[in-house]
Every structure is written in structure tokens, then in C-alpha cells.
Structure 1
Amino acid sequence: MALHSLAGKPAPSDMLVNIPRLISAYYTTHPDPSNIDEKVSFGTSGHRGSSFNGQFNEDHILAISQSICEYRQQAGIGGPLYLGMDTHALSEAAQTTAVELFAANGVELFIQADMGYAPTPAISHAILTYNNGGNSAKADGVVITPSHNPPNDGGFKYNPPEGGPAPSETTKTIQDRANEILADGLKAVQRLPLNKAMQASNVHAYDFMMPYVNDLANVIDMAAIAQAGLKIGVDPMGGAAIAYWEPIAEKYGLDLTIVNTAVDPTFSFMTVDKDGKIRMDCSSPYAMASLIRLKDEFDIAFGNDPDVDRHGIVTKSAGLLNPNHYLAVAIWYLFQHRPGWPADAAIGKTLVSSSMIDRVADHLGRRLAEVPVGFKYFVDGLVDGSYGFGGEESAGASFLRHNGKVWTTDKDGIILNLLAAEITAVTQRDPGEHYQELEGLFGSPVYQRSDAPASR
């Protein structure tokens, strides 16, 4: 694919999505249930699409949400449903729809106070905290996000009581029933007007942020970061982490600067990705160009995508780290600095991740668990502690607490960012320097990722 002429440059105004038209299409465009392209379709992380092309509209969210309610009943899931969303424009609209439906169906629904943003890792953390607290009725969750996709996209994903992405059999059940509901003209849908839904006794305002922030010291050596006095730069890329970094810095005494505080559903502050699209991909040097230019102003810097399940690490020594490089460094460091982890805890990687991880695992004497693409394949291993770490080459990972217990079973961009700061603080070398050391020990694997549009 040829590099677009605007790659790495500020997005021009004529590239910005028309938000009023996008939201109007969400409500006024009705998908054709007989058209396979307009049906509910769960990929590796939920249903995604744009309201402009009949792939992410209110009908979809009504059908999926009703299907989730029915699935919860069939599976005996009677605890809270934690509902989060990112900063995409369609996320706000879809959250309103979902609240109206979950409220009408009697689901004990917990949403961020003031209908605010709640990122993927905070939802996974909330689910697991509740379910590990001795409650008999299990919690689950939904995150409304298309991840790092362009501003005109929306996404809707379901996380069962294990806290991470749902397994294929679960998503197929939800997807198939949702399509039946669509085909039947939404007759099965139960719904309340928003004002009544928000007043319903089963709908609760909740703070997902501070329980997550207060727990970070149990997974990251926050004291080491603070004591080192690192100068840290953060670009939330207009995403749901925007409200998290200041409380993190305040609680743990970090010298942390948020270099971009803008939240704008057009993402007009972004630099254009390699293919000429606005895409909040924190692993792309073109999308991360603004932060990369500031690399020499900080000891370590990092960014996140809108739902905060991905990380992008910027170092003085290497600029933006290739995701595969950072995964190898993270594994190299963690399995030598987490004495509380099980001695037999494995290293989880996807099939398309770098062979450098294999070499690191072999050197450390750790079992390598290689899984298909999709973070859902790490969930069980993280839950029971048999995986110390699970990571994807697309810059998504999570790992165990200091004590070897589960932290999150969905990708967590915040702890991967903070781990880069911990590595720098504890070793006095940044992750880029560590990867150079790994190349000296194990050679330099050759890796190339090619993206191609799907025909369907």
C-alpha cells in the first residue's frame, strides 16, 4: 500500500466527519435484515460499522441489547451489567439506546456518573472485582467502542463474567438471536424513554475510575516510578483515558503532563494515518506523529486509543516502539521482576506476534502459549493465573497482579503504559534500549504487517 500524501500531517477540515449527519443516520437509517452486510456481525471484538452504511444503527443496538438480556437469563447471569463507552460520536447515541433497553428489561445496570466515558480496562476490572468478591450472582459488561477505528464508526462488545472478550460460541448466540430480532421487526424489544430509564430503580450511576486508579499499585510498582522522578508525557488521543491520567498522577505523585486534553468526536487534532484516514491507532507512527515530535521532552511518553485497550510507547532512544518490540521487552522485564507470580505461569502470544517473544520465553525457561488472533483466547489463562501475560501484536495486552492473581482479562493500555515507566524507573533504561539489548542477545527477527480490505 502506497503511503498517503497526508500521512503524519494534521487532518484537513474537509476530512472531518459531519457529526450531525452521522447521528441522524444512526436513528433514521434502518438496516435491511436480508442484506448480509447490514446484519449484526460479531468479529474478534464485537459488532462494528458506520451509521452511514447501515451497519451501526439504532436497530442494531436494540436487537443486540435485547439479545444480551435474553442470553443473560439463559446463562443465569443475574448480577450487575457494567456499561462503558468511549469518545466516538456513535458511542454516546448507542449508550442512550442501550440504557433505555436494559432499564426496561430489569437489568441491574451500572453506568458512569453523568453518562460519562468508561474505558475497556475499567469495565473488565469492575466485572472481575465484583465477581471475585464472593457475590453469588455474577456481573458482566458491555463496552460501546469501535476501538481505534475512524470517527464515523461505532462498536458494541459484550464481556461475560470472566471479564474479557466473549468466546465465539457466546457471540454467535447473541449475534444469531439479534439477527432474528431484526428480521422480526424488533417486536421482541422492550424499551423505556430515556428520562424514565434514568429514573428506574435498576439503573445506577457509578464511578468506574477511582476503584481502578486506587488498585493500580497492586499491578504496577507505582512507588518506583514516583521515586525515580520520571518526566512522563501522555497523549490520550481524545479517548476515554482523558479523565484517568490526572487522578493517577495525583494519587501516586507522578510528574506527568497530558500533552493533548482535547475531546472532539471529529478527532480534528489527529494526524492522518498511513492510508489517508483519521484513525486513533497508538501503534502507528503517523497517527502518533504529534507525540513522537515531543519525545525528547520526556523520559518516557505514551498514548492510548479511544477505549484505552491499546498502548503506544514513545522513548527517547527509539521513538515509537514497534508493538512487537515492546511486548518482548515487557515479557523480558515482568518475568524477572514479579516474584509473586506462579513459577509455571506461561507467556501468552498470538500466532502473528514476533518470534522474538519465543526466544525470550526460551531464555527465561517459561512455557509459551501460542493462540489464534483474538484476546478472548487469553481470558481463561489470565483468570486462573496459568498465563502471567497475554499480548497481541496489535498493541494490546494485560498481565497479572503482583500477587499472581488476575487484574483484567481484556486489554489494558494504561498498565502497559505505566509498565514502560516502571521499566525505565527500575532499570534506568527505557524500553527502546532494552530491545536493543534483546537484539544483541537473540538477533533481529524480521516482521512485516500487511493490512488489506475484506471483500465482506
Structure 2
Amino acid sequence: MNMIKFGTSGWRAVIADEFTFANVRLVALAIAQYLKKEGLANREVVVGYDTRFMSNLFAQQAGAVLTREGIPVLYSKRDVPTPVISFTVIDQKAGGAINITASHNPPQYNGLKFSPASGAPAPPQVTQAIEANIRKLQKEGVVLEPVEPQRDLFAEKDLAPAYIQDLESKVDFSALAASPQKVAYNALWGTGRGYVDRILQDAGWRVDVMHKEVNPLFGGRRPEPSEEEMPDFLEMVKEGDYTLGLATDGDGDRFGIADKGGKFITANHILALVFRYLVEERRLEGGVVRSVATTHLLDRLAQHYGRPIYETSVGFKFIGEYILEGKVVMGGEESAGLSIKGHVPEKDGIIACLLVAEMVAQKGATVGELLEDLFHLVGPLHSRRVNIPLTPELKKELPQKLAAHPSQVAGLKVTDVITIDGTKLVLEDGSWLLFRPSGTEPLARLYLEAESQKRLDILEEAGKKLLGI
């Protein structure tokens, strides 16, 4: 019996291994039971999907199960970005959403993500209730056969127009139109095509698009907008003399940014730049929320502007709560997740790309120049994430290793230990290390931040030594 579990961002598994039609139908039935118990069965559920292998067919079966249970479904006509699904839930006052996606995981994976009526990622108490329903169904030996949607409860719709129209209140389209640029956009074979590129082209920008075709194999890579996964795109930005390179991941909720010349700019640096821009240029009121693994540049900026800083566990479901409450100008994660005040309580790579484009247009400077100016204001910080394969031995020993809190690391005194998610060691010079297991992949992660790349190298070596590798 497979133990279907929801991680940091939904249930993900290998296609044809654990991720099967039978299991998708079972999870959909468990979600239907949850919605009925919560009194939401009379409200439609948005059902969407990404460009992965057979995602649309998995989504159809999930939707069909809901209609069999008497729950109306609003089904996306085409593959759709995660933030667009979140917006649609809120806009249509839906009871929730099922999204068939494994985001940036390798192509052999697929996944199912549930969002409640808030449009945010489901919090732990919701996914735990759904998991309990799954276990009960499995114990009872319930196996659902393929099912056809009940057509009077199954409506199809293009979800893009309403979302794009809403962006007009959150992105300064006039600023984009006033300063058109030549940019490159990498859709990474995912759902973002027709959003970032179309909006900028409509504003008069020249946008050259890479990997806009649908390819469930994602070119044999992970559809992640990272430096490691986009060498061809960074070369394109460099050789094409583009002002800016923009990218979104497989389901459009993460962003990747390249500066003029093809230099990749880390998500942590982009988060700091966007926060500064929203405070100084947009004059938005509120604090900033980040995950425990995200840059302390946000802390320095918050202190500079006299704004509160909030720290959460890893996972945008925790950050989304602050967006919903209207307490923050921006929320962000180092894994390239961002949303802003008044927007969806879900990470949105589309609005992140557009805000960076707006910022470059308004300021008349490259991202690199803006970053140098930021460092002059609050000092430099550089970050790194190291992925470590979670072997059976390390998985067994990791809890004990994380429980050991050294008094010194790399010759510096440990001044604070934060254990809200993994173990974070803050050192006397403001640098830090964080150890935690991934919530989406069989990896242990080591996060590092320091004022120089040389210091990061020293911290990485010390961190690996603490893990015994």
C-alpha cells in the first residue's frame, strides 16, 4: 500500500509508480470528502494542470471524481500556471482547486496540489485531514474505476483573460509602455508561455522566447529557472545583447532572472531588489515575510525602512497567510517564490518577472547596477544552497545531527539557533547556515549566507563537516 503524503507543496511521485490514475482518483475522492465535511460541496472546484506527461488526463479524472460526488468543476481549457489557478479560486469564490503539477521536479514526476477557498497552498491541518481520508479509503480497500465527468457539473473555461486583466492593477503597464526594452523569455516548456511574453509584447517590448513549445520531457532537464538548468538561455541573453532575461518554471510559480550580459541573478537578490522598489517607488505600506531559508538582506532593508520582518517555515503556505492578512508589502522564498500585497497568497513567477521588468524600465538601470546600489545601502550578502542526496544512512542520522548545536562554526561563535524548520545557526558576523530535509525531493539541503563568496566556501566546508560528509 502506497503511503500518499503531501509535502511542502502537495503530493509528488514518479509517474506509473506511485502517481497513477487509480491513486489520483483516490486522492480526488478524499478531497471531495473533505469539501463535503467543510460544507463546500456546493461551490465549484477549479481543476488545472501543467504540461507534464498526461497531466490533462489526470486532471480530467480528478474532476470527474468530484462531479461523481456532486461537486461542480471549473476545468481549465489549457495547461495553466499555478498562480492563475489561485487567482481563479478567489475571483470565482470557488471552494478550492486541484492542480495536477510537479512544478520544477524532474520530468518523470507528476503531482497533485490542493488549494482551499483562500487560494493559498493548503496548510498542514488541511492536508493532514485529506491524508486521513486517504488512509481510511485505502484501509477499506476502495479502488475507483475510470469515470466520465458528469457534464452538467463540468464546465471548461480559459482562465487567462481575467488573471491578465487583474495584473493591470498590480503592474504598472504604462511604465512598461513608456520604456520598451529588448528582453528574452524562457518558458522552459511550461505553462508560462502566453503570459509574460504576451503582456510585455502588448506593452511594445521586443520579447524573444525560448522553449515555448510543449515538451513533457522538458529537454531532459528539470523545468527549474536556475543557473544550472538554463545555460543555453544565459548564453542567449549574453549573445543577443538583451537588457534582461526572464524565466518561469514548469507551472509558472517560480522565476529566474538574468542580467544584461547573461549573468544569473539569484532569487534572494531579486527579492531584496523588488522589496526595495515596492517600498521606495510604489510607497506600499507593511512589512516583509520570508522563509527561514531566505536572505537576511530583507531583514537589513526592513530595519532600514523601519518595517517589521516575519520569519516562517519553508513553504509558501506559511507566507501566504501574511499576504492574505495584508500585513506585508511582499513575501518571498529563496527558491524563487514571490507575491505582493493585494495579490494571490501563492508564489507567482509571472508577476515577479513583470515587476523586475517594470523596475528596470522605471529606474533606467540594469539589474546588476541596481544590485550594486543596494549593496551600498545595506551591505553585501551572498547566498548558496547545496543539495545533498539523502542516503538511507544520512536520513537515519540526520535528526541526531540536527539536534547537535555547536558553539562555534568556522571559527565564529554561534549567537542564535533557530529550529522552526530544520536547524539554523546564526554566527556572530551575521552569516548563517541552515540544515533541513527537502519537503519535495529525496535531498538534504544546506543553505548558507555570508558577505563574500570566499566566506561561503568556508561555511559550506564547515557545514558538510557537521553533517559528516
* TM-score (ref. length: structure 1): 0.81
Residue 395 (structure 1) aligned with residue 346 (structure 2): no
Residue 332 (structure 1) aligned with residue 276 (structure 2): yes
Equivalent residue, structure 1, for 2:113: 157
Q: State, as a whole percentage, how many aligned pairs show the same letter.
A: 28
Residue 439 (structure 1) aligned with residue 380 (structure 2): no
Kindly state the Cα deviation for residue 251 of structure 1 after the two structures are TM-superposed: 4.2
Task: From 31, 38, 43, give the equivalent of 1:75.
Answer: 38
Equivalent residue, structure 2, for 1:118: 80
Cα distance in 2 between the residues matched to 1:248 and 1:442: 33
Cα distance in 1 between the residues matched to 2:205 and 2:130: 43
Residue 63 (structure 1) aligned with residue 47 (structure 2): no
Q: 2:195 touches 2:350 (CA, 8 Å); kept in 1?
A: no
Q: 2:190 touches 2:212 (CA, 8 Å); kept in 1?
A: no
Task: From 273, 290, 293, give the equivalent of 2:232.
Answer: 290
Residue 106 (structure 1) aligned with residue 57 (structure 2): no
Equivalent residue, structure 1, for 2:361: 425
Cα distance in 2 between the residues matched to 1:89 and 1:119: 16
Equivalent residue, structure 2, for 1:8: none
Q: 1:346 touches 1:387 (CA, 8 Å); kept in 2?
A: yes
Residue 216 (structure 1) aligned with residue 167 (structure 2): yes
Secondary structure, counterpart of 2:257 in structure 1: strand
Cα distance in 1 between the residues matched to 2:367 and 2:278: 12
Cα distance in 2 between the residues matched to 1:444 and 1:249: 31
Secondary structure, counterpart of 1:156 in structure 2: strand
Q: How many residues align?
A: 389
Secondary structure, counterpart of 1:234 in structure 2: strand
Q: 2:185 touches 2:207 (CA, 8 Å); kept in 1?
A: yes
Unmatched 5+ residue regions in structure 1?
A: 1-32, 132-137, 271-277, 401-405
Kindly state the Cα deviation for residue 92 of structure 1 after the two structures are TM-superposed: 2.7
Kindly state the Cα deviation for residue 47 of structure 1 after the two structures are TM-superposed: 0.3
Secondary structure, counterpart of 1:451 in structure 2: strand
Equivalent residue, structure 2, for 1:225: 176
Amino acid at match of 1:427: K
Mean CA deviation greater in 225-234 or 153-162: 225-234
Q: How does 1:315-394 map to 2 (within 5 A)?
A: 315-316=259-260, 319-339=263-283, 341=284, 343=285, 345-394=286-335
Unmatched 5+ residue regions in structure 2?
A: 396-441, 443-469
Secondary structure, counterpart of 1:186 in structure 2: coil
Kindly state the Cα deviation for residue 141 of structure 1 after the two structures are TM-superposed: 0.8
Q: 1:293 to 1:250 in 2, by over 3 A?
A: closer
Cα distance in 2 between the residues matched to 1:51 and 1:176: 23
Kindly state the Cα deviation for residue 192 of structure 1 after the two structures are TM-superposed: 6.5
Kindly state the Cα deviation for residue 253 of structure 1 after the two structures are TM-superposed: 3.5
Q: 1:317 touches 1:430 (CA, 8 Å); kept in 2?
A: no
Equivalent residue, structure 2, for 1:279: 222
Secondary structure, counterpart of 1:45 in structure 2: coil
Equivalent residue, structure 1, for 2:463: none
Kindly state the Cα deviation for residue 317 of structure 1 after the two structures are TM-superposed: 5.7
* TM-score (ref. length: structure 2): 0.79
Q: 1:60 touches 1:182 (CA, 8 Å); kept in 2?
A: no
Mean CA deviation greater in 209-218 or 239-248: 239-248
Amino acid at match of 1:66: L
Equivalent residue, structure 1, for 2:4: 40
Q: Work out which structure has the larger RCO, using CA pairs closer than 8 Å and 6 or more positions apart in sequence.
A: 1
Q: 1:423 to 1:446 in 2, by over 3 A?
A: closer
Kindly state the Cα deviation for residue 420 of structure 1 after the two structures are TM-superposed: 0.8
Q: Which has the higher strand share?
A: 2
Q: 1:59 touches 1:182 (CA, 8 Å); kept in 2?
A: no
Which 4+ residue blocks in structure 1 deviate beyond 4 angstroms? none
